Amino acid sequence: MSKSFEILDVSLRDGSHSVRHAFTEEQVRAVAKGLNAAGVRYFEVSHGDGLGGSSLQYGLSATDELKLIETAVSECTTSEVSVLLIPGIGTKENLQAAARLGAKMVRVATHVTEADVAAQHIQLGRELGLKTAGFLMMSHMAPVEKIVEQAKLFESYGAEIVYVTDSAGAMLPQDVTARIQALRQELQCEIGFHAHNNLSMAMANTIAAVESGATYIDGSIRALGAGAGNTQTEVMVAVLEKLGYQADIDLYKILDVANQVIAPMMQQPQEITGGSLLLGHAGVYSSFLLHAQKAAQQFGVDERDILMELGRMKTVGGQEDLIYEVAQHLIKA
């Protein structure tokens, strides 16, 4: 089968959550060099919560993200650097700075029902000459009709790609198929899919996305990412090749990045634990896991109870402060 998709690697953005935003210039340089050599067209470099995310609420970065972007760009000969921007966290000035340093793509991320807050950022991305995408986070929380409505808003603002984003790792393949097929029928732009592996469904969901018409799919080396991580890039390359697709990524070289570069910098194995499993089961934003673990230790409560309550409350990205309020409430209860 001829190639019909691009693999975008998020190890240096979503993976930032897993290492508590402690990437160094040397680590980013090594990963960028390896991804470029392996033939990965796009890879993302930002704080885990996007441009401007370094803060007490979201986690302070050990190294300025603009320096990390500059370092990554310097290693690219064929690859291109993408950045993530969440309106309300990142600003237009942050995006302009990233573009000056050589970023070639921006993905503007909003909650699945709030695409309207992204208009000015998507328009700026196009004005800066960046490949520009809209990123519908927590897509499991909205019915197909609402996702189509919000995706059309992104497209009307100028988005060249619209992503269905399973931020909680809560979807099953049929959920992905329904959403991607609906967008494929209703939109003229390209469609992307971003998975988390909290229910061990990331690879199956990614295959469902490709077979339903997604043209951009995300992965991370060694599954390095929030919660139980993302679809594992090197595994995805191998699986898609077995299915007959041409991924145009050198399997040996991407394995070298996984084993020789990423593995030594991981703080713990990326696996499905009780906490990450409950993220998917309860439909909780994947980056909440480390905050929930910290709150559980601080207040002496079970992290699983925190996550289940957050799911019941239908919390969304940006409500990290609620995690600690929930922990305190559990003590009183």
Dihedral sign, CA of 127, 111, 270, 48? Answer: positive
Is position 179 annotated in a ligand binding site?
Answer: no
Alpha carbon distance 120, 78 (integer Å): 29
Q: Is 17 a catalytic residue?
A: yes
The Cα–Cα gap between 298 and 265 comes to: 26
The annotation status of 287 as a binding-site residue, yes or no, is no
Contact predicate 9/42, CB 8 Å: yes
User: Which ranges constitute the DSSP H helices of 131-247?
Assistant: 144-157, 173-186, 202-211, 233-242
Query: How far is the C-alpha of 287 from the C-alpha of 279, rounded, in Å?
Result: 9
13 annotated among ligand-binding-site residues: yes
CA distance 188 to 25: 39
Catalytic residue among 17, 21, 47, 291: 17
Residues 6+ apart with CB under 8 A from 203: 195, 197, 231, 232, 235, 236, 239
Q: Is 121 annotated as a binding residue?
A: no
Q: Is 58 annotated as a binding residue?
A: no
Rounded CA gap, 272 and 290, in Å? 14
| Contact predicate 282/307, CB 8 Å | yes
Task: Tell me whether residue 167 is annotated as binding.
Answer: yes
The C-alpha atoms of residue 9 and residue 81 are separated, in whole angstroms, by: 10
Listed residue (153, 228, 172) closest to 197, CA to CA: 228
User: For residue 315, what are its two tokens?
Assistant: 């919390």
Per the annotation, binding residues are 13-14, 167, 194, 196, 285
Catalytic residues: 17
Per the annotation, binding residues for substrate are 13-14, 167, 194, 285
Per the annotation, binding residues for Mn(2+) are 14, 194, 196
